[in-house]
Homo-oligomer: A and B are copies of this chain.
């Protein structure tokens, strides 16, 4: 058996028509790049219609090399030109655009070819918008979306189909809520926030006090604050604070299916891969990077710039700038040794048994 990819769909159809094209010269200019090995005709006449992987790029598309794994694809690519870093010694058959960071240049070009859709003030007939809600004129609201009382939404924001926005929620400008995102009452979103589908902002934190005969629910009366430029992944949940707020800092990016418990604070520009879980009242620093399926205990502090490998388990404070792995987490270098030596346990044990037999204590 091998993967069966049916032939009845192309494997690289663009999501929407591309309105924009570029000459090679203009493409290079857009990314502060330098053209190399390109004929004069080529640079002016060729109209670039998009950017693609080395493998899939056509003769009117650009491509890029940002990950050495794909180096061999350089030889066979059909791309009109390839974005390479300034110091790459690769011999490309193609015209080359030298840039500081090919991945960043790719991102800029992709954004040129696929610009954000502007809000146009379209409210679907089936959207349910409370009369007391204040929406800027150009806010879009999709089919079946629910905007509750006293909600405020800033200009340029687009609310997807089936979203539910609870009472007195405040949403900033130029936000994008994909279909079926939920924001519970009183939560606050800054500007340029993106919620993927199924994201839940402001669910109750998990708080009970044992009465002797049952778990007494503690009302969760804080909010969730998402600062500017935050993105929240699909089906990710961020619990409202028990008393104070849960705060996701400026520019934080959370992948899908992440769980953020009540009163967590996450510093600016921190990035977490999917399925991470952060327990209550833990404070995460700025500029951190967490691998997928990492779990962090409650009431601890993780310093700025900490990096955690996937599946890490953090039970105590971590100082700024460290790189950790494992559960319980240890320095990444130590973890590399420990992981390798774990597989030697049978040899260690055998030696120990032999030793005991030869030299009984």
Contact = CB atoms under 8 A, between A and B. Distances in A.
Contact of A277 (B5, B16, B274): B274
B186 A196 contact: no
Interface string A204-224: 101111110011111111110
Interface in A120-155: 124, 126, 128, 142-144, 146, 148
A182 interface: yes
Given A182-B197, A342-B338, A5 B235 contact: no
A25 interface: no
A52 B244 CA distance: 8
Contacts of A180: 164, 180, 182, 200
Contact of A275 (B3, B259, B356): B259
Contact of A218 (B53, B110, B338): B110
Given A14-B221, A275-B275, A6 B227 contact: yes
Interface stretch (A71-79, A86-94, A344-352): A344-352
Contact of A200 (B198, B245, B277): B198
A221 B110 contact: yes
B219 A206 contact: no
A214 B351 CA distance: 48
